[in-house]
Amino acid sequence: MGALKLLLLLILVSLSLMAAAGKSPRHRHRHRWLEAHTHMKKLNKPHLKSIKSPDGDVIDCVHMAHQPAFDHPLLRNHTIQMRPNFHPEGVFSDSKVTSRASITQLWHLKGRCPEGTIPIRRTKRDDILRASSVESYGKKRAHATVKPSSIDIDFNAQNGHQHAITYVEGGQYYGAKATMNVWSPKIEQTNEFSLSQIWILGGTFGEDLNSIEAGWQVSPDLYGDNNTRLFTYWTSDAYQATGCYNLLCSGFVQINNDIAMGASIYPISSYKGSQYDISLLIWKDPKEGNWWMQFGNSHVLGYWPAFLFSYLTDSASMIEWGGEVVNSEPDGQHTSTQMGSGHFPDQGFANAAYFRNIQIVGGSNNLRAPEDIATFTEQPSCYDVQTGKSDDWGNYFFYGGPGRNPNCL
> C-alpha distances in angstroms, 216 versus 167, 241, 277, 323, 385?
18, 23, 10, 10, 18
Cα–Cα distance measured from residue 149 to residue 206, given in angstroms and rounded to the nearest whole number: 14
Catalytic residue among 192, 213, 320, 378: 213
* pLDDT over 90 at 9, yes or no: no
What does the alpha-carbon distance between residue 43 and residue 131 come to, in Å, rounded to a whole number? 15
Q: In 309-369, which ranges are E strands?
A: 316-326, 353-361, 367-368
Give the type of residue at 5: K
The highest-confidence range among 12-16, 236-240, 385-389, by mean pLDDT, is: 385-389
- Residue 33, in any domain of the structure: no
Total tally of structural domains belonging to the chain: 1
pLDDT band at 160 (very low <50, low <70, confident <90, very high): confident
Per-residue pLDDT, averaged over 150-172, amounts to 73
DSSP 156-176: GGGTTEEEEEEEEEEEEE-EE
- Is 165 domain-assigned? yes
199 found inside a domain: yes
Q: What pLDDT is recorded for position 23?
A: 53
pLDDT tops 50 at residue 155? no
The arithmetic mean of pLDDT across residues 249-256, rounded, is 97
Give me the pLDDT at residue 193, please. Answer: 96
pTM of this prediction? 0.90
For residue 32, is it within any domain? no
pLDDT of residue 76: 87
The answer to whether residue 98 scores a pLDDT higher than 60 is no
SS3 232: strand
pLDDT at residue 15 is higher than 70: no
Within 10 A of 155 (CB to CB), how many other CB atoms are there?
13
CA angle in degrees (0–180, nearest 5) for 401-406-407: 65
* Mean pLDDT across 179-204: 96
The DSSP bridge pattern shows strands 117-121 and 265-266 to be unpaired
* pLDDT above 80 (res 21): no
Looking from the CA of 4 toward its CB, the CA atoms found within 13 Å total 1
pLDDT, average across residues 146-165:
65
Is the pLDDT reported for residue 333 higher than 70? yes
Residue 407 lies in a domain: no
Q: Which residue has the higher pLDDT, 129 or 99?
A: 129
User: Per residue in 348-395, pLDDT tens?
Assistant: 999 999 999 999 999 999 999 999 999 999 999 999 999 999 999 999
| 34: in domain | no
Q: What is the mean pLDDT of residues 248-268?
A: 97
> How far is Cα 59 from Cα 51, in angstroms, rounded to an integer?
5
Q: Domain containing 61: what range?
A: 42-140+160-400
Let me know if residue 146 belongs to a domain.
no
Q: Clarify whether 89 is annotated catalytic.
A: no
Mean pLDDT of 67-88: 93
Question: Which candidate in 324, 329, 371, 378 is catalytic?
Answer: 324
User: What is the predicted pLDDT for the residue at 30?
Assistant: 85
- Residue 257 lies inside a defined structural domain of this protein: yes
Helix/strand/coil for 216: strand
Known active-site residue 371 = no
Query: What pLDDT does residue 18 have?
Result: 53
CB proximity list for 71: less than 8 A, separation 6 or greater: 42, 249, 250
